[in-house]
Amino acid sequence: MARIIDGKSISAKVRAEVAEKAARFKQQYGRAPGLDVVLVGEDPASQVYVRNKEKAALEAGMAGKLHRLPASTSERDLLALVNQLNQNDAVDGILVQFPVPSQIRQTEVIRTIDPRKDVDGLNPLNAGALASGDTALAPCTPLGCIRLLREIEANLAGAEAVVVGRSNLVGKPVAQLLLLQNATVTVAHSKTRDLPAVCRRADVLVAAIGRAKMLNAAHVKPGAIVIDVGMNRDEHGKLCGDVDFAAVESIASAITPVPGGVGPMTIAMLLENTVTAGIARLSAR
């Protein structure tokens, strides 16, 4: 049976590390690291995510503010707020919770956030730096995937990694981060020919395709490490990942559960990104 990779305990470890860094930050710079979150509208899932982020930031000894805007907010007004936060020296990280209402272009929001404060790692300058192998703020979920892998496999050099999914939020950046760990990386997707055969090459299989239980026993090499980024509902309305956990657990050497695997890591890495961004910006002066 596979080892279950406990994202809850590992994220708690990361948050404890962040709290120590935040305390040193405050001692050095005279204030706590600042994370400002912007929520436009009243999407129920977004409200839950934002509450969890706010709670985790406070527990880590960080400062910041939640900006709640009505669903009718114009793109111009949202971008004006983002620019204010760009100019605010007490703000080290800016996160605009997506999705935003239809009158606002998500790409414009991403481009407007100062890359030095882009703790979601989505600004094209950060994405380009990551693709070039330079130091950059990277998206939080991919960072969480790598941290989970490093907790159970210290050396990924030379490992065959297959990432199923090519989104800008997860698939592409996690592939870049795996390359930085010197893994040999293949990016597959729903149009890949003979997807099971491609996946069976993987020592590390990352599922980020957004389809409930799409990957099963036929996709997993015995002994592989499986990182399941998916968050879906199955036919019974129960939370599940992109991997059929029950079918794969006896084949893989280690696997993340859904929930309780990658999910808790996303907020932990957001906090780490905020402290990292603040230190980089202030130490460059």
Residue written as tokens 């239809």? 102
Q: State which amino acid sits at residue 257.
A: P
**Considering all CA atoms of the chain, what is the largest pairwise distance in Å, rounded to the nearest integer?**
56
97 catalytic, yes or no? Answer: yes
Backbone angles phi, psi at 41, to 5 degrees: 90, -170
Distance CA 68, CA 195 (A): 43
Return the structure tokens found at 176.
């870049």
**CA 210 – CA 264 distance, rounded (Å):** 18
Write down the catalytic residue from 21, 36, 92, 97.
97
* Whole-angstrom distance, CA of residue 193 vs CA of residue 181: 27
- Among residues 29, 39, 91, the alpha carbon closest in space to that of 66 is found at 39
User: Annotated catalytic, 53?
Assistant: yes
120 is catalytic: yes
Q: Which of 21, 53, 172, 213 is catalytic?
A: 53
The single residue of 114, 120, 203, 244 carrying the catalytic annotation is 120
Q: What angle do CA 123, 126, 75 make, to 5 degrees?
A: 10
The span from the CA of 143 to the CA of 262, in Å, is 10
Residue 153 burial (10 A CB sphere; 0-12, 13-18, 19+): middle
Alpha helix positions (H), 137-252: 140-152, 171-180, 195-199, 245-248
Which residues are known to be catalytic? 53, 97, 120
